[in-house]
């Protein structure tokens, strides 16, 4: 299998002495949907900056599709589409011109550039806005325009730095769908996020970085499987008088109010058994949800283990 990104012992010390990366090693396979997760200041943007040849590293090696970023700057740029956190196109340029200019920068012939521009503006719901100046777009539209621009040369690897920061829930979900679709079509995707739900929804593999060091690097499935319990909130259709008497081992139950319960179920224990018991007591469950995002729980426990608490 081809390796899209190979990072070995990457160090970065900024001019002001901040050690942003301390020996980071990571591999991302071609075709992967990979999350780089971590709190603010952990070093995520610095890693992206080094991969995209915008930040000089202090030590270590970085290869993009088997080629060193030190010696193959042009090839690396062709392979990569990068969506940075900050909106960085001209506010006065028209939407379609922003995409076409980028296509020109990558040397696409005019006809192909126009086709691609139409394709990606349509896919990202911006085609109707093509002749407007970008400053008139909403925040979410600007962010989508950044993605369209990053895709116009159809890079093999798309890197997004906090793609949905400040984007409302509905739009966030449509962006997730879009990214999942282009990943299914073969584009390798790396995203940084501190929206853990985002990583859980989309990504197959994950690395957690904290204070410039990778503290976890595994598959999302495995990580989620490591949680020892899950906490659910159950809403009851009928009113409860007092706490239900549940007799299942290890299940902790806590009444929040007359219509809702918090239930902590250890892994391996079926939630069905809880339902059966509640049913016996005449309680009808009208809805159920996870109390906290599971990844969030795990993330916090990892950071604690790393001495952050």
In three state form, how does the secondary structure of 184-244 look? HCCCEEEEEECCHHHHHHHCCEEEEEECCEEEEEEEHHHHHHCCCEEEEEEEECCCCCCCC
**Least Cβ distance, residue 284 to ligand ADP (angstroms):** 46
Q: Judged by CB under 6 A, does residue 57 bind ligand ADP?
A: no
**Segment lying near ligand ADP (by CB under 6 A), choices 14-22, 182-190, 236-244, 292-300:** 14-22
Choice from 43, 81, 140, 155 touching ligand ADP (CB under 6 A):
43
Least distance in angstroms from the C-beta of 31 to ligand ADP: 25
40 near ligand ADP, rule: CB under 6 A:
yes
| Pure H helices in the chain | 44-51, 73-79, 95-105, 110-123, 139-151, 169-184, 196-202, 220-225, 271-280, 294-303
Length of the chain: 309
| Residue 88: C-alpha distances to residues 61, 150, 161, 241, 282 (Å) | 28, 12, 13, 58, 59
**Which residues in 198-217 contact ligand ADP (CB under 6 A)?**
none
- The answer to whether residue 18 forms part of the interface with ligand ADP (CB under 6 A) is yes
Segment interacting with ligand ADP (CB under 6 A) among 10-18, 131-139, 169-177, 301-309:
10-18
Residue 54 vs 258, nearer CB to ligand ADP? 54
Say if residues 4 and 65 touch (Cβ distance below 8 Å): yes
Options 26, 44, 79, 297; binder of ligand ADP; rule CB under 6 A: 44
Minimum CB separation of residue 159 from ligand ADP in Å reads 12
Q: Of 42, 64, 124, 196, which one interacts with ligand ADP (CB under 6 A)?
A: 42
Q: Which is nearer to ligand ADP, 44 or 96 (CB)?
A: 44
3-state secondary structure of 100: helix
From 16-24, 72-80, 112-120, 170-178, span contacting ligand ADP (CB under 6 A) = 16-24
CA distances from 212 to 10, 55, 113, 262 (A): 10, 15, 39, 37
Task: Please answer whether residues 45 and 192 qualify as being in contact, where contact means their C-beta atoms are separated by less than 8 angstroms.
Answer: yes
46 touches ligand ADP by CB under 6 A:
yes
Nearest distance in Å: CB 89, ligand ADP: 21
- Tell which one of 4, 5, 20, 189 touches ligand ADP (CB under 6 A): 20
At 148, list the tokens: 């369209």
Q: How far is the CB of 129 from ligand ADP (least distance, A)?
A: 30
Cα–Cα distance, 11 to 46 (Å, whole number): 10
Q: Least distance in Å: CB of 13 to ligand ADP?
A: 9
Within 214-233, the residues that bind ligand ADP by CB under 6 A are none
* Binding status of residue 45 toward ligand ADP by CB under 6 A: yes
Does 4 participate in binding ligand ADP (rule CB under 6 A)?
Answer: no
Q: Are 175 and 145 in contact (CB under 8 A)?
A: no
41 part of the interface to ligand ADP, by CB under 6 A: yes
> What span, in angstroms and rounded, lies between the C-alpha atoms of 274 and 280?
10
| Nearest CA-CA partner of 76 in 85, 87, 64 | 64
229-236/285-290 β-pairing: antiparallel
- Is residue 16 a contact residue for ligand ADP (CB under 6 A)? yes
Tell me: does residue 56 bind ligand ADP (CB under 6 A).
no
The residues of the shown chain that bind ligand ADP, judged by CB under 6 A, are: 14, 16, 18, 20, 38, 40-46
């Amino acid at each position: 299998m081809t390796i899209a990104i190979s990072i070995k012992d990457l160090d970065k010390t900024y001019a002001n002495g901040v050690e942003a990366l301390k020996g980071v090693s990571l591999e991302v396979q071609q075709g992967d949907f990979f999350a780089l997760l971590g709190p603010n200041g952990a070093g995520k943007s610095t890693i992206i900056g080094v991969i995209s040849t915008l930040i000089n590293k202090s030590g270590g090696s970085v290869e993009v599709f088997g080629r060193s970023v030190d010696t193959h700057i042009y090839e690396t740029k062709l392979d990569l589409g990068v969506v940075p956190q900050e909106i960085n196109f001209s506010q006065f340029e028209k939407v379609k011109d922003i995409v076409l200019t980028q296509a020109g920068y990558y040397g696409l012939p005019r006809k192909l550039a126009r086709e691609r521009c139409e394709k990606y503006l349509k896919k990202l719901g911006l085609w109707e806005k093509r002749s407007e100046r970008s400053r008139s777009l909403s925040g979410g539209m600007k962010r989508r325009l950044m993605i369209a621009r990053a895709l116009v040369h159809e890079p093999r690897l798309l890197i997004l730095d906090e793609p949905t920061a400040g984007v409302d829930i509905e739009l966030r979900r449509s962006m997730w769908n879009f990214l999942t679709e282009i990943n299914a079509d073969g584009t390798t995707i790396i995203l940084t996020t501190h929206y853990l739900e985002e990583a859980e929804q989309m990504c197959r593999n994950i690395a957690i970085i904290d204070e410039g060091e990778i503290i976890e690097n595994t598959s999302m499935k495995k990580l989620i499987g490591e949680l020892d319990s899950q906490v659910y909130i159950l809403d009851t259709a009928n009113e409860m008088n007092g706490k239900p008497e549940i007799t299942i081992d290890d299940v902790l139950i806590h009444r929040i109010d007359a219509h809702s319960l918090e239930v902590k179920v250890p892994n391996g224990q079926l939630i069905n058994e809880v339902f059966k018991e509640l049913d016996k007591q005449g309680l009808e469950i009208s809805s159920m949800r996870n109390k906290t995002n599971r990844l969030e729980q795990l993330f916090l426990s990892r950071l604690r283990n790393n001495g952050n608490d």
